[in-house]
Amino acid sequence: METVVKTVRQHSLAVNNIKELKEITTAYTRVKNYVYSRYSGINSLLLLKNHRVTIRDEWIKSEFAKRWKLPARYWKTALDEAISNIKTEWTNTKRRVKLAVINNVNLSEDERKFVLYILKADSILYAILHNEEFSLPNKLQRLVIRKQYLYSLIKRYIRKYKGEIPYSYKTESFMIDNDMYDYKLIDNKLKMYIQGLKFGQRVEIELKDKNTHKGNLRILIKGNFIEIHKAKYIKVKEKLNVQAKTIGLDKGYRCLLATSENKFYGERLNDFLSKETERLNRINAERNKFWALMKKYEKEGNIKRAENIKKFNLGRIKYNRNKSKFDTQVKSYINREINRFITEDKPTEVVLEDLGFVSWNNKFPSNIKRKLSRWIKGYIKERLSYKCNLNNIEQCIVNAAYTSRVCHKCGSFGVRDNEVFTCTHCGRMDADYNASKNIEMRKYDRSICLYTPYRKVKEILEKRCSA
Ligand SMILES: [Zn+2]
């Protein structure tokens, strides 16, 4: 049976010894940031695969690990977590390089094949990046390629597409494994005991409910409270629909989802976002006024009044509370509407644009772009994918190029003006519906595949029009 990962959250009452947990978080984050800065580069590429031997055991042998002033289990977990993030970064870099190679019209088929192979062979990649000797496997020796040109291309691409070195600025969470915590039920209250800073000492935490966990947990510090995150594997549900049904989806201009069946979900999303933007603008204007007033009092030497303004009018607590209230509302609205799409439309497969590569800049005017702050985009993508997995719905990702620019009926290039798409032959139609129809049809398009370059897609579409 297939499974999907779900994060289960649990809350504590106020923790007496929160100071110790905060110290652990700070030290834990220090380990992670050291690992990021030391092992993210190309020099460490070959150390990552077996880091428990190449890094962890070395730290123990050389007594380097002592500097963390953390129980071994903590720095080891921090090391594992950071290395796993560095590996993800490398995967992303290689994916970007792969895309650039596929889209590079100056390369021959053989040359593309060569670079794509190298991206999978770390030891050869390492040698190329360090100008070291290496021998090519037999199947690569047969390829007709410009070797030196490709080596410097690979170096250039890796430099270009390697993201910034990760860094945790906020020190607010750490991971613990199964042996670093246990539970006790005392006077009908569930208490959790987490490994403290000193060997054999544990920090007591009273929990709000009586759920106990096993395995790895993430501990997040929130003021005097903690939140516990547990990744749970849950079974994928039976298919809702026995008949195959494919639906194209567009992240709509005026709604959350527009479907190729001309239905719309999450039509109030933009409303939500505009209201919040207005509220934030209003609050910021107010805060600026108080800020100026405080500065004025400070200048006049009226420290007491300045302090009062800082305390009562410029505090972050209420501000943050309202912000998180809004986030929760938007999240539950998004989830509700995605659920409604799944239960009402009963798709067995959805066709989506590759949102990772879609430039939202072209798709939305600036006022909407601002509102769709980054986390919301990421959140929609993540929830949609999660709920599809959970409900056994296939996801087909297609090339996004020009899906909102051509008419789905006749294929001509048309004009998109906010919510309306106009085709000179077929007339006016809903722009989101038109895009979702095009997205659906991309699945069956034999000449436009996911990695067909943008320019090439345009050529193909123009050729079809004139034919
Ligand atoms: Zn048309």
Structure tokens at 205: 């935490």
| Bigger pLDDT: 328 vs 169 | 328
Residue 263 Cα to ligand 1 midpoint, Å, equals: 20
CA 353, 359, 365, 367 dihedral sign is positive
Q: What is the pLDDT of residues 122-134, one digit of tens each?
A: 999 999 999 999 9
Confidence of residue 415 (pLDDT cuts 50, 70, 90): very high
Written as one string, the DSSP assignment of 154-212 is HHHHHHHH--PPP---S--EEEE-GGGEEEEEETTEEEEEEE-SSTT-EEEEEBSS---
Which has the minimum average pLDDT: 149-163, 245-259, 356-370?
A: 356-370
CA–CA separation, 178 vs 194, rounded Å?
10
The DSSP H or E segment spanning 103 is helix 72-103
pLDDT of residue 354: 73
Q: 219 forms bridges with which residues in the sheet?
A: 174, 228
pLDDT for the residue numbered 367: 53
455 pLDDT tier (thresholds 50, 70, 90): confident
Q: Determine whether 337 is exposed, middle or buried from the number of CB atoms within 10 Å of its CB (0-12, 13-18, 19+).
A: buried
Instruction: Kindly report, residue by residue over 202-258, the tens digit of the pLDDT.
Output: 999 999 999 999 999 999 999 899 999 999 888 887 766 668 899 999 876 678 899
> What distance in angstroms lies between residue 185's CA and the mean position of ligand 1's atoms?
69
pLDDT-derived band at 357, boundaries 50, 70, 90: very low
Ligand 1 centroid to 411 CA: how many Å?
A: 6
Question: CA 52 to CA 55: how far, in whole Å?
Answer: 6
> Which H, E and C letters describe 274-302, residue by residue?
HHHHHHHHHHHHHHHHHHHHHHHHHHHCC
What spacing in Å lies between the alpha carbon of 373 and ligand 1's midpoint? 33
Q: How many whole angstroms from 39 Cα to the centroid of ligand 1?
A: 54
pLDDT of 271 higher than 90: no
- 427 CA to middle of ligand 1, Å? 7
Of the listed ranges 9-18, 79-88, 126-135, 250-259, the least confidently predicted one is: 250-259
Task: Name the residue ranges covered by the structural domains of the chain.
Answer: 1-20+172-235, 41-164, 271-324
Task: Quote the ligand 1 centre to 270 CA distance (angstroms).
Answer: 28
Query: How many Å lie between the centroid of ligand 1 and the Cα of residue 207?
Result: 61
The overall longest dimension of the chain from CA atoms, in Å, is 82
Cα 441 to middle of ligand 1, angstroms: 15
**Ligand 1: centre distance to CA 466 (Å):** 13
In angstroms, what is the span from residue 389 Cα to ligand 1's centroid? 35
Q: How far apart are the first and last CA of the chain?
A: 48
Distance 246 CA to ligand 1 centre (A): 23
CA-wise closest residue to 212 among 235, 181, 176, 179:
181
The residue with greater pLDDT, 155 or 285, is 155
Is 70's pLDDT higher than 60? yes
**Beta strand 173-176 with 217-222: parallel, antiparallel or unpaired?**
antiparallel
Angle, nearest 10°, between helix axes 147-161 and 72-103? 130
Instruction: Look at residue 173 in the predicted model and tell me its pLDDT.
Output: 93
225 Cα: distance to centroid of ligand 1 (angstroms): 58
pLDDT digits (tens, 9 = 90+) for 175-208: 999 999 999 999 999 999 999 998 889 999 999 9
Work out the pLDDT band at 361, boundaries 50, 70, 90: very low
Cα(287) to centroid of ligand 1, in Å?
51
pLDDT higher than 70, residue 372:
no
Other beta carbons less than 10 A from residue 208's beta carbon = 12
> How far is the centre of ligand 1, averaged over its atoms, from the C-alpha of 288 (Å)?
51
Interatomic CA distance for residues 419 and 438, integer angstroms: 16
pLDDT confidence tier of residue 170, bands split at 50, 70 and 90: confident
pLDDT at 368 over 60: no
Q: What per-residue confidence (pLDDT) applies to 276? A: 80
Ion ligand 1: residues, Cβ under 5 Å: 407, 409-410, 412, 423, 425-426
pLDDT at 371 over 90: no
